């Protein structure tokens, strides 16, 4: 559905902790993963978002597998990039 790669040269342990807290605080938030790969899902504003990730060095490959049809892949990527930049 949506695939993109984000460069993240900082600590992967901290990134995973922050993402887990953020996702699990959402309605029906589920996060299962570590510093190599994982999956996530949550409900926001009545819509489900789900996906998985793989970390290879400083690159985080994201695959969004479920999203509202009105929400563009570009918007999801922008929101994730913004969140990660704020967390740095």
Which position has the token pair 């949550």?
A: 42
Could you tell me which of 48, 46, 56 has the C-alpha nearest to residue 76?
48
Tokens of 74: 């570009």
Distance between CA atoms of 7 and 21, rounded to whole angstroms?
A: 21
- For the beta sheet containing 47-56, the strands, ordered from the edge strand earlier in sequence to the opposite edge, are 2-7, 59-66, 47-56, 37-44, 27-33
Domain CATH number, residue 34:
3.30.310
Could you give the number of structural domains in the chain?
Answer: 1
Tokens of 3: 């695939």
Model confidence, pTM? 0.87
pLDDT score at 46? 87
Which residue range is the domain that position 45 belongs to? Answer: 2-87
pLDDT score at 83? 81
Per-residue pLDDT of the chain (88 residues; tens, 9 = 90+): 999 999 999 899 998 998 899 899 999 999 999 999 999 999 988 899 999 999 999 999 999 999 999 999 999 999 888 887 776 6
């Amino acid at each position: 559905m949506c695939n993109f790669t984000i460069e993240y040269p900082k600590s992967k342990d901290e990134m995973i902790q922050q993402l887990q807290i953020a996702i699990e605080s959402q309605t029906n938030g589920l996060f299962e993963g570590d510093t190599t790969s994982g999956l996530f899902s949550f409900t926001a504003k009545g819509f489900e978002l789900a996906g998985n990730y793989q970390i290879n060095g400083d690159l985080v490959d994201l695959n969004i597998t479920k999203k509202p049809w009105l929400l563009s892949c570009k918007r999801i990527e922008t929101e994730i990039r913004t969140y990660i930049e704020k967390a740095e």
